[in-house]
Amino acid sequence: MPSLKNYPPSHKATADSAKKLRKIAILAGDGIGPEVMTEAKKVLAAVSEKFKIEFELKESLVGGAAIDSFGEALPAETLKICEESDAILFGSVGGEKWNSLPPEKRPEVGALLPLRKHFDLFANIRPAGVLPMLKNSSPLKPSIIGDGFAFTVVRELTGDVYFGEKKSEKDFASDLMIYHRNEVQRIARVAFELARNSRQKVTNVDKANVLATSQFWRSIVEEIHEKEFPEIELDHLYIDNATMQILVRPNDFDIVLAGNLFGDILSDEAAQISGSIGLQASASINGINSRDISGIKRMGLFEPMGGSAPNIAGKGIANPIAQIRCVGMMLEMSFEEGDATSAIENAILKTLENGLRTADIFTGSAGEQKVSTAEMGDSIVKNILA
């Protein structure tokens, strides 16, 4: 993950801010959500102890669980708890049981999209990369993986066809693909800022050979680049080509910038080639510096890239690492506690180095030990406190 440590300087953790109470809304959701959230909460307790950070956790229902109790995926009470919190730790939502509902009422769309819009979480940060000891879990050939890759998809999250006007008539349906200047400017800035703290490169992905929205998008990305970030390398790829290039030369990418729809597609591809979607965390934030969030409350929602995996729910075998990494992203991006984030990431590496594997990343190689969700979480906790 590109480091935001010490950025922006004014948000540096101080002895004072370390004493602040950090309020977190815990929305575990459906499927494996509650199981992996249990491990994330153990990690929060360990971080609290080690780094002397005080957390106040408020749990609330979301998704299918909320539909069953309140008839809607995002009840007012849940939204209120989120509003009163500094960050949202989200599990996963959805399952067979609610699939017959109309799309906008289903757990995924009915909970996630309104949350993103409500808190203006326009920047979705999805780091991808293969860990040295998990290269075998990636579907990519070793010759392509080489020494390993690490890139981050920066996806615009509150515009595009997702939120443009929708029409559904008897003989036609349409979703308006629309971007406003300020929406493109602010997500481009997030991408360039992240590149500054990473390997100084942004790849913009669009479909500017066909779409007016993409031509507009690209011209604004170029303008922000020239005026504000000329030292960062910028190149462009069309979405169709980008999906291929990521598969054949993943090492060439650092920050990959895309609109909502193309970013959705790219981030699934990125998660898959990283080994297991049970490993990848993501952040949805309303800015990374004071310019973006001036006058409004800083907010972040942190959720695993994988879904609720109903097929393995309740068995205690889900990989808790993605949810635990969400805690790491939250500590860095919402609370400027980058040292705690590093401690979590190192503890995960140590656990994997020791051979512990949940079923999704177990290959049967010598030195591997198949473990449960709880055993994986306990080992990470032990390594944080060590």
Q: Which residues are catalytic?
A: 162, 207, 240, 264, 268
Residue facing Mn ion at closest CB distance: 264
Closer by beta carbon to ligand IPM, 264 or else 375: 264
Binding site for Mn ion (CB under 5 A): 264
State which residue, 228 or 264, has the beta carbon closest to ligand IPM.
Answer: 264
**Per-state percent for the chain, helix, strand, coil, to nearest 5:** 50, 20, 35
Preceding amide of 8 cis, omega within 30 = yes
Q: Does 368 bind ligand IPM (CB under 6 A)?
A: no
Q: What is the 8-class DSSP label of residue 136?
A: G
Interaction between residue 112 and ligand IPM (CB under 6 A): yes
Outline where 86-136 has alpha helix (H): 107, 113-118
Spatial neighbors of 329 by CB under 8 A, at least 6 apart, are 1, 125, 281, 282, 283, 300, 302, 341
Q: Which of residues 223-252 bind ligand IPM (CB under 6 A)?
A: none
Site size for ligand IPM, by CB under 6 A? 4
CB of 308 to ligand IPM, least distance (A): 10
Structure tokens at 359: 């079923």
Cβ nearer to ligand IPM, comparing 85 with 282:
282
The answer to whether residue 45 forms part of the interface with ligand IPM (CB under 6 A) is no
Instruction: Report 252-291 residues binding ligand IPM (CB under 6 A).
Output: 264
Give the residue, chosen from 35, 39, 108, 360, that forms a contact with ligand IPM under the rule CB under 6 A: 108
Token pair 């703290």 in the structure block, residue = 197
User: What's the rounded Cα separation, in Å, for the pair 4 and 193?
Assistant: 9
Work out how close the CB of 112 gets to Mn ion at its nearest, in angstroms, rounded to a whole number.
10
Quote the CA–CA distance of 55 and 232 in Å, as a whole number: 37
| Amino acid sitting at position 267 | S
Q: How far apart (Å, rounded) are the C-alpha atoms in residues 342 and 151? A: 18
Which candidate, 115, 116, 107, 109, places its Cα nearest to that of 30?
107
Query: Cα separation of 3 and 283, whole Å?
Result: 13
Question: Considering beta carbons, is residue 213 or 383 the nearer one to ligand IPM?
Answer: 213
Contact by Cβ (8 Å): 333, 325: no
By beta carbon distance, the residue nearest ligand IPM is: 108
Spell out the residues 6+ positions from residue 150 whose beta carbon is closer than 8 angstroms to its own.
127, 128, 129
Stretch that binds ligand IPM, among 84-92, 106-114, 247-255, 369-377 (CB under 6 A): 106-114
Joined together, the tokens standing for residue 312 give 């393995």
- Closest approach of ligand IPM to the CB of residue 303, in Å: 7
Partner that binds at residue 205, options Mn ion, ligand IPM, none, CB closer than 5 to 8 Å by kind: none
Q: How far is the CB of 268 from Mn ion (least distance, A)?
A: 5
* Min dist. Cβ of residue 334 to ligand IPM (A): 18
Q: At what angle do helices 321-333 and 338-353 cross, to 10 degrees?
A: 160
**Which among Mn ion, ligand IPM, none contacts residue 145 (Cβ within 5 to 8 A by kind)?**
none
45 binds, among ligand IPM, Mn ion, none (CB under 5 to 8 A by kind): none
Among the listed ranges 34-42, 104-112, 128-136, 195-203, the one in contact with ligand IPM (CB under 6 A) is 104-112
Residue ranges that bind ligand IPM, judged by CB under 6 A: 108-109, 112, 264
